Amino acid sequence: MRKFKLRNGLTVLYEKRKSESVAIEVCVCTGSNNEPGSVAGISHFLEHMMFEGTTTRTSKQISEAIENSGGELNAATANERTYYYVKIPRAKVRLGLDILSDMMKNPSIGQKSLDKERKVILEEIKMVNDQPMFYQWVLFQKFLFKRHPTKNPVYGRFDSVKAITRKKMLEYYRKWYSPGNMILSIVGDIKDTKGLAESYFGDMKQSEVPKPKKVVEPRDTKATINNEKRNITQAYMVLGYKTVPRMHKDSAVLDVISAVFSKGLSGRISDEIRVKRGLAYVVGSAHESRKDFGFFVFHLNCAKKNLELCKSIIIEEIRKLSNIGNKELNDAKENIIGKILLSKEDSQKAADDLAFWEFINDARLADKYLRDIRKVTKNDLVRVRDRFMHKNYTQIIISR
């Protein structure tokens, strides 16, 4: 992997890979956690607007240029970053760079498109809120974090999205979409990466980007429990804990714990609740660890009458983590490593993985992470469990 910076501050990552496709990602280091409350959802809204045309292309010309070559163009917004990517045949790499750079440099952000896309986003919010499988995560983060902006949904609120003006959108774009606040990640087989990057992105003008505010999240001193009533036939539960950011030494340990509990159907929680007892169809655990926050969750949906039993099984499996043997521990570690290696077969996911680690600290840490997973011991599991999986959990239930 090569890494260099353009004169305007843009960080460029390139991984050479023999392939007929090339993946190109532009990661902008801002997301919903950097938004003032009055414009909550503006990062996601702006992501939509970046596809609505530039000063040189219409939205249809943007999509047609990529799709007519058999390529894929998409984007996503998260709490801390927003990323745009194109996956395209190798012979069309200049087209991919031209489209992405045009979108980053010259978005039109027209009033008519803004009013139209606002309606789309409001419908998207309704869709998420209507479906407990999605909304349970919004609700969980809202109650898990007391001060940290990760408590706010990425898509914002109805009132804030309705109030976002073109002027506010342009101000946000100019504030954060600066080359020094961007990462260009390329995976594929191309020549003269530096020359191409300079040619398409070198004329972006650098501007001073504000540093994200540090928020001190208080320790939980009691359990937080919230129940929401809905006219549904199943009950949905998420139970979890605040943990640590990705650079913390315990982050990899928490990933291994999650794999022990839920590496497909053979994980402890999945095996006990679904395979052996047939209490739920969807059940699992996850550890989300980012640049400035982390959380560990157990989640399931089942008949309401079985909720307490399922919860008691989860609590018991947390307690029983102390009895893990070497084979089970190694299987969990190999599960994580294998998933990462298989995921990287997709050049787009490989490009995003490089961009993610560069955003966290340094793209080279992607390899170190695999070494950290291999080093995790049984003592690490027990120590980290005792530190984070305590009685002061956050639990949300959506049920009839």
Interatomic CA distance for residues 81 and 112, integer angstroms: 26
CA dihedral sign, ordered 32, 134, 387, 257? negative
Q: Which amino acid is at 139?
A: L
HSE at residue 78, side-chain half, CA atoms within 13 A, is: 17
Assess whether the region 2-201 and the region 224-399 belong to the same CATH fold: yes
Element (H, E) at 13: strand 11-16
Q: Is-contact 33 79, C-beta < 8 A?
A: yes
Q: Is-contact 288 282, C-beta < 8 A?
A: no
Closest CA to 72 of 86, 84, 58: 86
Residue 227 sits at the vertex; the CA angle it makes with 223 and 228, to the nearest 5 degrees, is 150
- Quote the distance between the C-alpha of residue 324 and its chain's center: 30
Write down the architecture of domain 224-399 according to CATH.
2-Layer Sandwich (3.30)
Interatomic CA distance for residues 144 and 392, integer angstroms: 10
Query: Domain spanning 2-201: which CATH class is it, in words?
Result: alpha beta
Question: Tokens 């979108």 map to which residue?
Answer: 103
Give the N- to C-terminal CA distance of the chain in Å, as an integer.
Answer: 52
The structure's pTM equals 0.94
Domain locations in the chain?
A: 2-201, 224-399
Query: Tens-digit pLDDT profile for the chain (400 aa)?
Result: 999 999 999 999 999 999 999 999 999 999 999 999 999 999 999 999 999 999 999 999 999 999 999 999 999 999 999 999 999 999 999 999 999 999 999 999 999 999 999 999 999 999 999 999 999 999 999 999 999 999 999 999 999 999 999 999 999 999 999 999 999 999 999 999 999 999 999 999 998 898 888 888 999 999 999 999 999 999 999 999 999 999 999 999 999 999 999 998 899 999 999 999 999 999 999 999 999 999 999 999 999 999 999 999 999 999 999 999 999 999 999 999 999 999 999 999 999 999 999 999 999 999 999 999 999 999 999 999 999 999 999 999 999 9
CA dihedral (32, 34, 36, 37) in degrees, to 10, reads: 30
The values of phi and psi at residue 183, to 5°, are -125, 125
